[in-house]
Amino acid sequence: MTEKRRIEVVIFSGGSGTASIIKALLKSPQLSIHCIVNAYDDGLSTGALRKFIPGMLGPSDIRKNIARLIHTQDRSGAALKNLLEHRFPDEYSREGAQAELRCFAEQLDPKDVELRSHFVNLTIQQVRALAAYSRLFLEYAEKKAREGSLFHYSGCSLGNLFFAGAYLEQGQDFNRTIETFSRLAPLQGDVVNITDGQNRILVGIDNMGRILKNEAEIVGPGATRDDSEIREVFLLPDYLTESQLADLDKLSIEERIAYLRRFEKVLPFNPAARDLIRSADLIIYGPGTQNSSLFPSYLTQGLSESIKRNERAPKIFVSNVRRDNDIKGEDVHSLLNKFSFYMNHKAGTEIPDQSTVTHFFIQRAPQPETDVLTLNPEKLGSAISRIRWIDWEGNPGHHSASVVSEEILSIIQERVVRDLQYFHHSVSIVVPALNEAKTIAKVLHDLTLVNLLSLDLEKEIIMVDGGSTDQTVALARQVPGIKVFELPKGSGRGDALRHGISKAKGNLIVFFPSDGEYSTKDLFRLIQPILMGEAEVVLGSRALKCVNIGKRARDIYQESRLLSLFSKYGGGLLSFLMLIFYNRYVCDPLTSLKAFTSRSIRGVEFKCRGFDFDLELLAMLSLQAKFISEVPVDYVPRTRAQGKKITVLDGLKCMLALTRFRKSLPPALPKPGGQTHEDALNHYTSL
């Protein structure tokens, strides 16, 4: 296809399930993000608002996605986002909420201190718009009060009330309200309702035959049902009446399903959504509450046909990592069957073909936790070759922004454009350790205090123990927020670093030692060149700051002149060998502080297990023509008596590694999309 400057990405989104994915994709200025949302949400406060204004769809997911897309670099955008997301506390009085709304209506500072801090940073245009929306909602509420209907504000989002006022202003045209509401602040993408905006009520039935009367009961935490699988969801013109519920109570499960299908009326496609899907460069079916945020969207008239008509775009199904409340009885295979069921107008449950889904993002292997979605690959047949088996999970239940975005961008680069720019989302700090009980707690604690949010980066800290016989592991587990892994006794530094790489979710990886010789303050200096696109690999060089290498070597190896001489000249010899064999001069190849992109080592099968791993890594990166930068870092060496571990034998192994790998090229892993059915099945079962 013809390359375009901007890539049009359509993502089927819910409220929070796609938040991390959208946030990651927004970093790329080459992507235009279009969030396709249904508005059947009917939670406690949202449901109360929908009943208070009959005929209105639920604004919550619309509001959440708009807030997510707001540019927050300027104060007015950040202030508006905070106001839209502000929720009145539970049991908040009607009088108190209306008093705050009157302040907005009259363009006065709100009474609540938090609301006031955001209000004062709004633009004049935003203040005027919110004033109009607040005034219209209050006028409507007063009219309803005279009719004997009162609205309870406790737990209600302020943004939903503003949206309701805009809905009244726009003559109760839901889709036009979304367009108007989206103009409150500059957005980094857009939000489009999947249907023409008519009202529908989402109703479900579970495998026990119990009727789930609204969206709140479908996605609820189990107060109204157990873990039974939801059999089917329906879109009804209105809430079920007591008479209808009584009629349903007399029927069998199959008769209840037939009864609800008779009343079901799916909605026409929103032309704006249809046009976006037909012209999209990439379509993503996001994760989330499947029976609420996603399956009902797929019922829309004409959606399936428009998706199949777009033959150019890759189409990615992103499975949930863990079970939400609405899919407690599901596995990945059942989700895929239901995806086909709804996408094909409730006909057939086969695995989606390539006209609908070209790639499946599914958790790499079953986990011991009961709420992790599993998959029996034998059920997939030839579809298994379209699956990307990866550990997608970041925080429990949430997709890792780095992992998902990297895979999505690789598909875009492979199928759509070739010159796609990559952005970094998170850092994995790998800390190898062996008998470091004296220093491990402080090192890990200092790393937890490193705040990378100023660089718009999340972080994870991975400590890998190589078989300590002291209290290293126990002390590490006492530090909150650390992922601790243990290797068998006798494992080397290379084993620990390789294991850390295999567990890393970040698209930046940093090696940081556990011995206390390096400063965490240098992490920023190490990461910056990669973020600025100046290098893919950065080494923290001790030599650049050391004015007398010989004296430092004597201080470290006081009891051994041989080790002192080897330390003084061994590093220089390794630098010389790097220059001879790889045409790359590195002044401190044995530094323990390194940073690199995960992409730079993807597919490399490392062999070294000890200190020579560091040289193997540099050799492989050099063979791939990766630019290696060095920055000066602080270094406070300890002596042999204090725990210095590297030996002459380690140095000789490092030299041998440079000669051993000079003619090697790192083997690339096969792309999942190009595997045969048998290869993919073998790959899955070997994990």
| Tokens encoding 609 | 């297990």
Tell me which DSSP letter residue 292 carries: I
What are 515-547's pLDDT values in tens digits? Answer: 888 999 999 999 999 988 888 899 998 876 554
Place of tokens 């994760």: 287
Cα 55 from Cα 177, distance rounded (Å) = 14
Cα 237 from Cα 136, distance rounded (Å) = 26
- Residue 361: per-residue pLDDT: 92
Cα 491 from Cα 501, distance rounded (Å) = 15
What are 246-258's pLDDT values in tens digits? Answer: 999 999 999 999 9
Taking the mean position of all CA atoms in its chain, how far away is CA 395? 9
- Residue 584: per-residue pLDDT: 74
164: exposed, middle or buried (C-beta count within 10 Å: 0-12, 13-18, 19+)?
A: buried
C-alpha distances out from residue 514 to 11, 395, 456, 470, Å:
42, 24, 26, 14
- Residue 277: per-residue pLDDT: 97
Instruction: Report the SS3 class of residue 518.
Output: strand
- Strand segments, DSSP code E, in 529-665 are 537-541, 594-597, 628-632
Taking the mean position of all CA atoms in its chain, how far away is CA 172? 35
- Residue 666: per-residue pLDDT: 46
- Residue 414: per-residue pLDDT: 79
**pLDDT exceeds cutoff 60 at 681:** no
Place of tokens 């005279």: 146
Instruction: Report the SS3 class of residue 612.
Output: coil
Helices (H) and strands (E) in the chain, counts: 26, 17
- Lowest-pLDDT choice from 121-125, 334-338, 352-356, 616-620: 616-620
Residues with Cβ within 8 Å of residue 507, at least 6 apart in sequence: 402, 403, 405, 406, 422, 424, 425, 426, 597, 598, 599
- Lowest-pLDDT choice from 157-171, 176-190, 313-327, 412-426: 412-426
- Residue 546: per-residue pLDDT: 54
- Which residues, listed in sequence order, are joined to residue 315 by a DSSP beta bridge? 283
Residues with Cβ within 8 Å of residue 171, at least 6 apart in sequence: none
What are the structural domains of the chain? 39-193 (no CATH), 201-263 (no CATH), 271-415 (3.40.50.10680), 440-660 (3.90.550.10)
Give the pLDDT band (50/70/90) at residue 348.
confident
Q: In what order do the strands lie in the sheet with 594-597?
A: 482-486, 458-465, 426-433, 508-511, 594-597, 537-541, 628-632
pLDDT mean across residues, the chain: 85
Cα 472 from Cα 443, distance rounded (Å) = 12
- Residue 236: per-residue pLDDT: 96
Element (H, E) at 133: helix 124-146
**pLDDT exceeds cutoff 50 at 672:** no
- Residue 359: per-residue pLDDT: 94
Contact criterion met (CB below 8 Å) for 19 and 394: no
Tell me which DSSP letter residue 345 carries: T
Cα 576 from Cα 570, distance rounded (Å) = 10
Cα 470 from Cα 299, distance rounded (Å) = 60
For 29-84, give the DSSP string: TTEEEEEEE------HHHHHHHHHSTTPPP-HHHHHHHHHHB--SSHHHHHHHHHH
Phi, psi of 594 (to 5 degrees): -135, 150
What are 6-64's pLDDT values in tens digits? Answer: 899 999 998 888 998 998 899 888 899 999 999 999 988 899 999 999 999 999 999 99
Give the residue-averaged pLDDT of 597-604: 82
| Tokens encoding 403 | 């992992």
**pLDDT exceeds cutoff 90 at 244:** yes
- Residue 175: per-residue pLDDT: 97
Contact criterion met (CB below 8 Å) for 392 and 403: yes
Place of tokens 């201190």: 113
- Which residues, listed in sequence order, are joined to residue 179 by a DSSP beta bridge? none
Return the ∠ at Cα 495 (arms to 494 and 499), rounded to 5°.
115
- Residue 602: per-residue pLDDT: 74
Give the pLDDT band (50/70/90) at residue 99.
very high
- Residue 387: per-residue pLDDT: 86
Instruction: Report the SS3 class of residue 409.
Output: helix
Q: pTM, whole model, 2 decimals?
A: 0.82
**pLDDT exceeds cutoff 60 at 674:** no
Sign of CA dihedral 153, 156, 162, 166: negative
Cα 111 from Cα 114, distance rounded (Å) = 9
- Which residues, listed in sequence order, are joined to residue 389 by a DSSP beta bridge? 362
Give the residue-averaged pLDDT of 297-317: 95
Cα 236 from Cα 254, distance rounded (Å) = 18
Tell me which DSSP letter residue 458 carries: E
- Strand segments, DSSP code E, in 354-497 are 359-363, 387-390, 426-433, 458-465, 482-486
Give the residue-averaged pLDDT of 387-400: 80
- Residue 567: per-residue pLDDT: 52
Cα 106 from Cα 112, distance rounded (Å) = 15
